[in-house]
C-alpha cells in the first residue's frame, strides 16, 4: 500500500504537468517556467523571445499571420489601440498587441475573447514589449454568440477599466 506522502507526490507531479502542458515554448533554450508564470484565477501569460510586427505593418515574418488593426477607442481615462496577428478561430491562439495612452499608468493589462463577463474564457495577462502590451490569448471553443476581444486595464490605484473590440 502506498503511503500518503507517495500519493501526494504523484498528485503534485500530475497537476504540474497538466498546468504547464498548455504553454508552448518555441525556443528550446528558453528558461524554464517560473512558479509565478501561471495562476489559478484564469490569467495565462506566455514568455517568448520573438519580435512581433509593429502596429502599422502587415508583416508575416513572425509566423503568426497578417497583422490586423482592430481599432482605437476611448475607455475611461485611456485611449486604447489594438492589433492582432492571424485569424481568430475557436480553440486557437492569437497574438495581440495593445497600446494604452492617457490616464494613470496601468499596473496590468489583461484580455480575453468572448463575452464581457469572461464566462468560458481564459484571461491572458500581458507583458510590456517595447511601447505596447503583448501576449497570446486562447479563443474559447465554442465561441459565444457576439464575442469580442475584451481588454481590462488595472490602474495603479486598483481601478479597472474594460473595453471591447469587434473581432
pLDDT tens digits along 33-44: 333 333 334 444
- pLDDT band for 89, please (50, 70, 90 cuts): very high
C-alpha cell at 49: 523571445
Report pLDDT for 63: 64
**What is the number of other CB atoms lying within 10 angstroms of the CB of residue 1?**
4
Compute the C-alpha angle 55/44/109, nearest 5°. 50
DSSP per residue, 124-165: EE-EEETTEEEEEEEPPSSPPTT-EEEEEEEETTS-EEEEEE
Domains of the chain in sequence order: 63-167 (2.60.40)
pLDDT tens profile 38-67:
333 444 444 444 444 443 433 344 566 899
Pair 161, 76: CB distance under 8 Å: yes
**1-29 mean pLDDT:** 36
Closest CA to 90 of 154, 147, 131, 12: 147
Pair 99, 80: CB distance under 8 Å: yes
**What is the number of other CB atoms lying within 10 angstroms of the CB of residue 108?**
15
pLDDT tens profile 99-139:
999 877 778 999 999 999 999 999 999 999 999 999 999 99
Report pLDDT for 64: 64
Amino acid at each position: 500500500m502506498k503511503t500518503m506522502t507517495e500519493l501526494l507526490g504523484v498528485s503534485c507531479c500530475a497537476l504540474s504537468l497538466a498546468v504547464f502542458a498548455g504553454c508552448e515554448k518555441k525556443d528550446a533554450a528558453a528558461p524554464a517556467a517560473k512558479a509565478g508564470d501561471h495562476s489559478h484565477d484564469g490569467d495565462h501569460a506566455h514568455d517568448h523571445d520573438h519580435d512581433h510586427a509593429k502596429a502599422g505593418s502587415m508583416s508575416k515574418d513572425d509566423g503568426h499571420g497578417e497583422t490586423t488593426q482592430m481599432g482605437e477607442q476611448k475607455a475611461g481615462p485611456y485611449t486604447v489601440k489594438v492589433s492582432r496577428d492571424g485569424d481568430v478561430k475557436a480553440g486557437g491562439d492569437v497574438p495581440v498587441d495593445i497600446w494604452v495612452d492617457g490616464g494613470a499608468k496601468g499596473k496590468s493589462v489583461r484580455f480575453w475573447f468572448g463575452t464581457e463577463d469572461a464566462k468560458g474564457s481564459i484571461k491572458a495577462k500581458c507583458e510590456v514589449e517595447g511601447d505596447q502590451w503583448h501576449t497570446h490569448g486562447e479563443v474559447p471553443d465554442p465561441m459565444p454568440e457576439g464575442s469580442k476581444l475584451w481588454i481590462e486595464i488595472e490602474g495603479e490605484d486598483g481601478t479597472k477599466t474594460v473595453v471591447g473590440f469587434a473581432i
